Each structure stands twice: as structure tokens, then as C-alpha cells.
Structure 1
Amino acid sequence: MTSDEHVVLLDGEGNPIGTASKWTIHGAETPLHLAFSSYVFDEHGQVLLTRRAGHKLTWPDQWTNSCCGHPLPGEPVRSAVIRRLSFELGLRVDSVDLLLPRFAYRAAMDNGIVENEMCPVFRVLASSDATPNPEEVGAARWLPWKQYVDEVLSGEIPISPWAGEQLPLLVSLGPDPLAWPVADPADLPPAARL
């Protein structure tokens, strides 16, 4: 990724209001911007967890969902999901399904850095093995979905704030992640409806 990578800035309704450098917006007053979260599953319903690389600006060394990222200006969110999974984990994607079109969160680190995102959540099916890019990912592991849920809820696996907020919403979709209903793309924030 280049140092001039830009993100899409949003108003409170999810409309695009401009762009800014990804490397300059994250601080104590991070503006609302467009992102995504993805959960990669294999054919057995196991989920791929990743630990963020230790040099990441936000939540370094933190276990989280499979992959997060920011669509580039003018890039469809599904394309951004596929691009980042290839870059971060070397994955070949079989399918990308929208689950939580309107998920948004704001979280602050102890050092004052804030993340502030409208962050649609996707289920991804992948049949290739993950090859983590050390620039992005410190570790990766596959877990049965129920084990992941149980270990997060018990505190055995501390996870990123966004993954923690997403968990009960995903659990409410049912016990089998491969059978979760697909959401309507019309429910995405306007900036994500490309």
C-alpha cells in the first residue's frame, strides 16, 4: 500500500463528503469514514482470526476478525474486501456476502487514538490457505465458530472493540455462520452503494 492511500469521509447519514489520507486522519479527532469488516469461513464453518501486526497504528497486536480495511475512493466495498484479503492474507475468495450493512462504531485507544467508522460487515468463503503478510498480520488461526464465540465471551480471547461489538449481532443471525441470511445492499450507507 502506498503512503497516499485515501479513505472516504462521511457525514452522519453515510453520504460521502470528501476524502483524506488514511495516514493523517487517525488521531484524537478521527473523522467518520468508510471501512469494512470481514469474517472468512472455510467449508466447515471455521472462522479465520487474525492478530494485527505489532507496528499497526490502531490496536497493534490485537486479535480481531479476519480482515478489515477501507475502500478506496470510487471502489466498491466488495472489491475492497477481496483486495485486502489478497494483500493481507493471500486468500483466494469464493464468495462475499453482506451481513451487517449499517454497522458503525467509535472506539478510543488508551493513547487517545480514535477509530470512527461506518463499517459494513461481510461473510467471506475462501478455499485457499491463508499466507499472512507480516506487514499487516502478526498471526492467524482457524477456530470453529462456536468455540470463537465461547472463548470471546469468556474473555479467553480478548478481541478488538469492533469485533466485540459485532459478535452479538452475528450471533443473533443464528448458530451456523454458513446459513446466515444475506442482507440487502440497499441498506448500505450511501457511500458504499457503488
Structure 2
Amino acid sequence: MRHESRADVSPRPGVGTTEDPPPRSDPERFARLFIDHAPELKRYVVRRLGLEPADDIVAETFAVALQRLESYDGRRGDERAWLYGIATNLIGRHRRREIGLYKALSRTGADAVIEPFTDEVEQRVVADGARRRLAKALAGLSRKHRDTLLLVTWAELTYEEAAVALGVPVGTVRSRVNRARSSLRRVLAGIDPTVADEG
């Protein structure tokens, strides 16, 4: 069985729409893809890596998507999940930066990256004084567990969409998310900041 990089991954059959895909080499299709998904994709990258590399990663994500769009079969899965798979692969090249941001947050408690994007889940964590411990826990997760957890919680992909994005079975996504959440609960003294995002 040939293993593809996550940037090359095509969704599995049976996931997503059964309608005919838009015509190939369609500039309007690419424009719609960009307009529909670039802002949320950038927010996701900013949360993981900060502002500095976000524009470049989003641009590269869509450059890769444009190269592969002609051969992408929309009947096989959600284009949104496909884009997050490409972005996650590109984020992996910046692993040291991501870990460094989490470690800095665990030391100082100052989170310039995600402060503008706080939501109810993060507010619960902050209210309990656990943000530093959360950052330390995220830094301690393996890349595959962190990628999976954050696709489900921050990008709000379903387990099925995360499976498409990562090119793994849905059961693997469930297992990784459960293990990552268990690790976070241990560090956060029983608080699960991701429980509201169950896919």
C-alpha cells in the first residue's frame, strides 16, 4: 500500500457529497474555495504558529490545492478537510516554532497568539488558571496526537473530516483524540477543555 504525505492525501470514498464535482480547471471553483476557507484556515494556523508564518502557510496551502485541484474528485470528500490536511502537513515543518510558543506560554502565561481568538472553552481554562498547564500539555503531545486533537477542537472538523485530512481511519482519529484528551485531563487536574467539541 502506497503511503502519501498529508499534503497529497485525497479523501476516502464515501465521505462527503455524491453530487457531480464542479468542472475541472475552473477558476471560479478555486476562487470559491479560497473565499470560503482562507479566513478560517488562517485563524487555525495563527493559533498554532502565530501571525508571522500564517500568511505564507495559507498561501502555500492554496498553491498546493491549485496544483492538485484538477485531479481532486469532489465526490470523494470534503474540500475543507482536504485543505486542512495540506495545511497540517505544512505546519509540521514548523514543529519547533509551535513547541516553542507553547513552552513560552507555559512559562509566562502570556498568549499573544490565541488571545484575540478566545472562546468559551479557553475562557473556562483561563478562569481556572490552567492556561499555562494547557500549553505545557500541548507541547508534550506527540505531533500526531496534537494535530488530530487540534483539527477536531480548533478547526472544528468532525472525526470523519479529520480522518480525511490526515489520511487515517476514523477509528484512529477517535483513539488519538481520546488519548490526547486523557493527557490534558491529567495535566489540568481533571478539567477537559475540549469536551464541548466532541465530534
The normalised TM-score by structure 1 is 0.29
Higher strand share: 1
- Which has the greater radius of gyration? 2
Higher helix share: 2
The normalised TM-score by structure 2 is 0.28
